[in-house]
Homo-oligomer: A and B are copies of this chain.
């Protein structure tokens, strides 16, 4: 967990070059997302507040929407989970999602650029992306349960 992350990115310049204002709130959110991939809006809210910012829920959503709209972030909406956000954009990567705990992990695309796959039949669609979600059980959930642990 103690790895170098995007604190070296010039976030103010990044925002401005995307046509956005470099507000304090946006910088806080970008810092947080850089350190915490696949965070929910609530994760972001709690995280930026823990870092000393005073932001409302709405402001968090506003910031996230602005970032996504400018292509600096994107959303992942796993079934049964509130929306998650990541700043890894501009590449064609996919996700592993754990059926147990909901953990989301990036995985590089082994095939190439979008669309990395084409459907058997396109039904008249012009396909521009093939989004792949690998469902399974993560290492933590695959571990045997501790015998003393009660099943709910």
* Complex CA distance for A113 and B144, rounded to whole angstroms: 27
Whether A128 and B119, one on each chain, are in contact in the complex, defined by CB atoms closer than 8 angstroms, is: no
Whether B134 and A115, one on each chain, are in contact in the complex, defined by CB atoms closer than 8 angstroms, is: yes
Contact residues in B for A139 (Cβ distance below 8 Å): 123-125
Query: Interface residues of A, CB < 8 Å — how many?
Result: 39
* Complex CA distance for A32 and B105, rounded to whole angstroms: 37
Task: Give A62 Cβ to nearest chain B Cβ, in Å.
Answer: 17
Whether B77 and A94, one on each chain, are in contact in the complex, defined by CB atoms closer than 8 angstroms, is: no
Whether B79 and A80, one on each chain, are in contact in the complex, defined by CB atoms closer than 8 angstroms, is: no
Copies in the complex: 2
Proximity bits, A106-149, B CB within 8 Å = 1, else 0: 01111000010111111111111111111111110010000000
Task: Give A111 Cβ to nearest chain B Cβ, in Å.
Answer: 9
* Complex CA distance for A72 and B78, rounded to whole angstroms: 22
The residue from B120, B122, B137 contacting A126, defined by CB atoms under 8 A apart: B137
* Complex CA distance for A134 and B98, rounded to whole angstroms: 21
What are 27 inter-chain pairs, A to B, with CB distance below 8 A?
A77-B80, A79-B83, A98-B125, A105-B123, A107-B123, A108-B120, A110-B119, A115-B134, A115-B135, A115-B136, A117-B132, A123-B138, A124-B138, A125-B136, A125-B137, A125-B139, A126-B142, A127-B135, A128-B135, A128-B136, A129-B134, A129-B136, A130-B133, A131-B133, A131-B134, A131-B135, A132-B132
